[in-house]
C-alpha cells in the first residue's frame, strides 16, 4: 500500500519472485500503472503488467509504504478489509504504534534498499540493501511469514529489536535529511562541509539521549551517519526530493518525533527543534503547507 518509489520496488521484486501483487496508488501514479504497467530501471531492467487500484484488497500480506503522515488514513482503510499481516517499511517513528491501533497483526520493518520514481509508472532500482523484519524481544510467526515472502527477492533478516532498528534509521535520517532539504545539497555534503557536519553531530547526540532514556541500546551513531552519508554521497535525500517536488515532508515523524519524545522525558533537543522549524518554514514559504 503506497506505490511510490520504495512501494513500487517492493511490489516489483515480490511479483518477480512469483507472488500475486495488488498495488495501491493514487493520482498520476495510479493512472500510469493502470495504463502502462510498471517499468523498472537501474539494477534490473524490466516491465510488469500490474493489478492496481486506489484501495486495498484482501491479502495474506500487506506492505505499508505510504508517507508517515498518511499512516492513520491507511490503517483505517486496511481495517475495512482482511489485509492479513501488515508489514511497515516506512520512514519515521511511530508508524507501528499507529497501525496497531487499528490492526492486529503488525510487523515492524526497516529497509535500506534504494529506489526513486523517474516518473509516473517508472521506478529506478538504485541500490541493494537489507530489510529488517521483526518485533521487540522475539521473532513472531508473522515476522517469519514476512521473511518467507521477501527472501526470494530481498536480503531479509529477522530481528528481535525492531524498535532500535527503527530509531537507528530515524536518527540517521534526522541528521541528514533536513540539512539536505534546507541547503539543497546531496547527502555527501553533510560530511564534507564542516558547518553542516557539526549540526548533524548535534542532532545525533540529542537523539541518543532520548534512546538512553527509553532504554534502547546505544551505538556509534555519528560514525553510522558518516558512513551512510559517504556511501550515498551522490544521492538526494527523500526530504530534499519532497521539497523540490512541492510535496509535504516527513519532518514531523523524524526530527519532530525526537523533539516530542525528548520533551515527554524532560530532555531538550534544541538542534532538532530548529531543523523542524526550518523545514516547516521551507514548506510554508514554498506553499507546500499552509
Where are the domains positioned within the chain?
5-160, 163-285
Active site residue 169: yes
Confidence of residue 108 (pLDDT cuts 50, 70, 90): very high
Confidence of residue 290 (pLDDT cuts 50, 70, 90): confident
**Which are the contacts of 108, defined by CB distance < 8 A and separation ≥ 6?**
88, 95, 96, 133, 134, 135, 162, 163, 165, 166
pLDDT at position 116 over 90: no
Residue 111 pLDDT level (bands cut at 50, 70, 90): very high
Give the residue-averaged pLDDT of 271-288: 97
- Rg of the chain over Cα atoms, rounded to whole angstroms, equals 18
Condensed to tens digits (0 to 9), the pLDDT of residues 186-228 reads 999 999 999 999 999 999 999 999 999 999 998 999 999 999 9
The residue among 156, 122, 166, 174 whose CA lies nearest residue 12 is 122
- Identified catalytic residue from 152, 169, 234, 280: 169
Closest CA to 29 of 64, 63, 3, 1: 3
Asked whether the predicted pLDDT for residue 139 surpasses 90, the reply is: no
- With CA atoms as reference, report the closest residue to 224 among 175, 287, 259: 175
Q: What is the mean pLDDT of residues 9-17?
A: 98
CATH of domain 163-285: 1.10.1040.10
Q: For cell 548533524, name the residue.
A: 200
Q: How far is CA 95 from CA 75, 79, 88, 190, in A?
A: 10, 15, 7, 27
* H-run or E-run covering 264: helix 255-264
DSSP state of 120: T
Residue range 5-160 in CATH 3.40.50.720: yes
Amino acid at each position: 500500500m503506497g506505490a511510490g518509489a520504495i512501494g513500487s520496488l517492493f511490489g516489483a521484486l515480490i511479483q518477480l519472485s512469483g507472488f500475486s501483487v495488488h498495488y495501491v496508488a493514487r493520482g498520476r501514479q495510479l493512472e500510469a500503472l493502470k495504463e502502462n504497467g510498471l517499468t523498472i530501471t537501474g539494477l534490473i531492467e524490466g516491465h510488469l503488467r500490474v493489478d492496481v487500484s486506489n484501495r486495498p484488497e484482501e491479502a495474506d500480506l500487506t506492505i505499508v509504504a505510504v508517507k508517515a503522515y498518511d499512516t492513520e488514513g491507511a490503517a483505517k482503510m486496511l481495517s475495512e478489509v482482511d489485509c492479513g499481516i501488515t508489514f511497515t517499511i516506512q520512514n519515521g517513528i511511530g508508524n507501528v504504534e499507529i497501525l496497531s491501533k487499528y490492526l492486529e497483526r503488525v510487523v515492524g520493518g526497516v529497509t535500506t534498499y534504494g529506489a526513486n520514481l523517474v516518473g509516473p509508472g517508472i521506478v529506478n532500482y538504485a541500490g541493494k540493501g537489507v530489510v529488517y523484519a521483526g518485533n521487540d524481544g522475539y521473532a513472531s510467526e508473522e515476522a517469519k511469514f514476512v521473511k518467507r515472502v521477501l527472501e526470494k527477492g530481498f536480503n531479509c533478516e529477522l530481528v528481535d529489536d525492531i524498535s532500535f532498528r527503527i530509531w537507528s534509521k530515524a536518527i540517521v535520517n534526522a541528521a541528514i535529511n533536513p540539512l539536505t532539504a534546507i541547503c539543497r545539497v546531496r547527502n555527501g555534503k553533510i560530511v564534507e562541509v564542516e558547518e553542516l557536519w557539526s549540526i548533524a553531530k548535534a542532532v545525533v547526540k540529542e537523539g541518543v539521549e532520548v534512546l538512553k532514556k527509553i532504554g534502547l541500546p546505544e551505538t556509534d551513531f555519528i560514525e553510522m551517519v558518516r558512513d551512510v552519508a559517504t556511501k550515498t554521497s551522490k544521492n538526494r535525500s527523500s526530504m530534499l526530493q519532497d521539497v523540490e517536488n512541492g510535496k509535504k515532508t516527513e519532518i514531523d515523524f523524524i526530527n519532530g518525533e525526537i523533539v516530542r519524545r525528548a520533551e515527554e522525558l524532560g530532555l531538550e533537543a534544541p538542534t532538532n527543534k530548529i531543523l523542524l522549524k526550518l523545514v516547516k518554514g521551507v514548506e510554508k514559504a514554498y506553499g507546500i503547507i499552509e
